[in-house]
Amino acid sequence: YGLIANCNEMVISLMSKPKVCIYIPIDSSGESHRRIEEAGCEVILGKTSWRTGIDRDALLELSRGAHALLGATIKRMPIEGTFLEQLPELRIISKYTIGVEDVDLNAASKQGVLVTHSPTEANWGGVAEGTIAFMLALLKRVRERDRHVKQGGWRDSALMGTYLGKRQDGYPGLTVGIVGFGRCGSRVAELLAPWNLRVLACDPYVEDEKFERYGVRRATLASLLEESDVVTLHVTLTEETHNLISSMELRLMKSTAILINTCRGAVVDIEALCDALDGEELAAAAVDVLSEEPPPTNSRILSLGDKVILCPHMVSANTPGTLLPAIPWATDATLAALRGEVPEHVYNIDAIPRWLDRFGDKPLI
């Protein structure tokens, strides 16, 4: 009987542990997993990678009974209301990523589930650096010159690049338009500062003082598109920004302009972009993100040659960096929520009052 009693106590103890489902693990060392276990939690690990993601049904099966979900991007179908209703004890969805578009924020807030993200400098700073790389590759025709020499050619006037910055001889430099002036957009402006060129930015949610601090002129989206030689996109994906750049917006741009998208694929109508490039209504584009990833083999965007630079959603993937600096952020947020505390970096802040009513006085660890 004593043995049976001990076994029952062990089972009850295991069942009483809060369950943390790390549906897309990125910590190969396992250190953060052990930290969560040492705090008194049961850790359930998924078997997919951040490159491939996880589908909704697999995630639901893995996470039943979870008090916390932790992971990277869910590629196939978002976490929405009917999903959340099946996880009644869920307190937090803690993301290793900056983006949270794979979660229905309204549904999470309604249920009182916090969604946190990890806006690490390694991520948004990497995007900004990659944006400058795209810009220079297109303007300086880096790929074309490399290929020309490897094919036996040498100097050719057809390989002339475009001068970017302002010069003392009166050349005014190009105008760069930044759509979205948050962390990433303002870092792009900071990196462009040595070129002493004209920078416009559009962001209705950013105060005037920030534009002044970076020496950037506030503009409407329409005027930015009309005046810029380079347009670079740095917005989050919301209902407001879905297809923000479509045929009408592309027609506003100069035929000599270039477009850079390093935020989210659905911000740009990809067919409209292909039409503009095919019709020479736009000079070139650099695209790190697509609405369908990876693109189908018959996708038009793959057939546009040097008019477009394509990147496999890896502009922020740099060594050292990528998502690894986000591990302690997401782990801290998870443990705070399980202690009944509001963590840092809550994205759906409107959920906090409802969350406090449900969990604020109910620590699990």
The residues annotated with a catalytic role in the active site are 264, 293, 313
Cα distance between residue 262 and residue 311, in whole Å: 9
First to last CA, the chain: 30
Measured CA to CA in angstroms, residue 214 lies from 83, 150, 168, 180 at distances of: 43, 41, 22, 14
Q: Which of 48, 45, 42 is CA-nearest to residue 19?
A: 42
Q: Which helix (H) or strand (E) holds 35?
A: helix 31-38
Classify burial at 189, counting beta carbons within 10 Å of its beta carbon; exposed 0-12, middle 13-18, buried 19 or more.
buried
- The CB density around residue 49, as the number of other CB atoms within 10 Å, is 12
Q: Cα dihedral angle (323, 329, 332, 334), rounded to 10 degrees?
A: -60
Cα distance between residue 208 and residue 105, in whole Å: 28
Cα distance between residue 256 and residue 323, in whole Å: 36
Cα distance between residue 365 and residue 354, in whole Å: 20
Residue appearing with tokens 């795209």: 134
The conformational region for residue 321 under phi > 0 = left, psi -120 to 50 = alpha, else beta, is left
Buried b (16+ CB within 10 A) or exposed e, 223-241: ebbebbbbbbbbbbbeeeb
In this structure, are residues 126 and 141 in contact, taking their beta carbons and an 8 Å threshold?
no
Cα distance between residue 202 and residue 12, in whole Å: 56
